[in-house]
């Protein structure tokens, strides 16, 4: 049984969440209402700024023409694939760097340089190497998300309490036992935080790749809309992209809660 103080605290926290959610939702609604009013009163040029009604009509037309979920699926598939590869490969490389400090010192300047390099500049080379298809899109996404994953996961490994490491070593733990029993479990929160960043980075990489080579996907919708000066289509693509990004982000948060509960148990 919870104490009265704890029950009051839970009620207060729940109330605070409701208030925050209400204002978050209200801001969106007020923004859409003002936007539509400005369009109806001809204060803004709907050819340039579009309007909520036009955007909604555009999304409905995409659905009727079977172009909505097909394009969403392509982008989601490419994002999940690149996200999975970057997460697994990034964690493995970060583990190697932690395991061997010499390799870490050798690779550190290269990771820094690659992380700061504008990936779009490599677009023409990527297309020549991998062709104008999904391979180029996945590689572009990996370029953006992989290095960040390696750096974040490695920093998580290094954040383990030194006293705990010394204690395990004094008890005769070998390097594998140290990593599997202490370093990796202790870094789960950092790894999940890296996943949150990795989702957005993978999605950014996929959209950039679709701008370059794709004929399907949300990035293609946005690019095509800009080419034909259809701002309603561009804004529709951006809105769909925001929804997809939010769903993926909250899925990672759900995973985080599951891992934390499991870790506590």
pLDDT in tens, 38-62: 999 989 888 888 899 999 999 999 9
Q: Which CATH number fits domain 53-264: 3.40.1110.10, 3.40.630.20, 1.10.1200.10, 1.10.3720.10?
A: 1.10.3720.10
By three-state DSSP, how is residue 65 classified? coil
pLDDT in tens, 143-186: 888 888 898 888 888 888 888 888 888 888 888 888 888 888 88
* Residue of 256, 252, 156, 135 whose CA lies nearest to 199: 252
How far is Cα 149 from Cα 89, in angstroms, rounded to an integer? 9
How far is Cα 149 from Cα 140, in angstroms, rounded to an integer? 15
Domain ranges of the chain: 1-44, 53-264
Which residues have CB under 8 Å from 53's CB, separation 6+?
36, 39
Helix (H) or strand (E) holding 186: helix 184-186
Question: Which tokens go with 212?
Answer: 């370059």
User: Angle 134-158/101-116 helices, nearest 10 degrees?
Assistant: 130
Q: What is the DSSP letter of 72?
A: H
pLDDT in tens, 62-73: 999 988 899 999
């Amino acid at each position: 049984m919870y104490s009265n103080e704890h029950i009051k605290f839970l009620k207060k926290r729940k109330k605070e969440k409701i208030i925050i959610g209400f204002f978050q939702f209200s801001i969106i609604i007020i923004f859409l209402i003002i936007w539509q009013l400005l369009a109806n009163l001809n204060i803004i040029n709907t050819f340039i700024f579009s309007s909520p009604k036009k955007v909604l009509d555009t999304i409905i037309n995409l659905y009727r023409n079977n172009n909505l979920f097909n394009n969403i699926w392509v982008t989601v598939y490419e994002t999940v694939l690149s996200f999975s590869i970057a997460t697994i490969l990034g964690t493995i490389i970060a583990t190697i760097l932690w395991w061997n400090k010499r390799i870490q010192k050798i690779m550190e300047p290269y990771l820094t340089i690659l992380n700061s390099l504008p990936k779009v500049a490599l677009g023409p080379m990527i297309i020549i190497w991998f062709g104008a298809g999904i391979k180029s899109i996945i590689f572009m996404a990996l370029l953006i998300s992989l290095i960040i994953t390696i750096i974040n996961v490695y920093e998580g490994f290094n954040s383990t309490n030194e006293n705990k490491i010394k204690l395990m070593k004094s008890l005769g733990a070998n390097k594998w036992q140290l990593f599997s029993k202490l370093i990796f479990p202790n870094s789960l929160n950092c790894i999940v935080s890296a996943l949150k960043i990795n989702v957005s980075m993978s999605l950014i990489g996929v959209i950039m790749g679709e701008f370059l080579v794709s004929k399907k996907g949300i990035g293609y919708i946005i690019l095509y809309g800009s080419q034909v000066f259809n701002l309603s289509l561009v804004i529709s693509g951006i809105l769909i992209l925001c929804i997809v990004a939010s769903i993926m982000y909250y899925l990672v948060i759900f995973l985080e809660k599951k891992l934390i509960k499991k870790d506590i148990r």
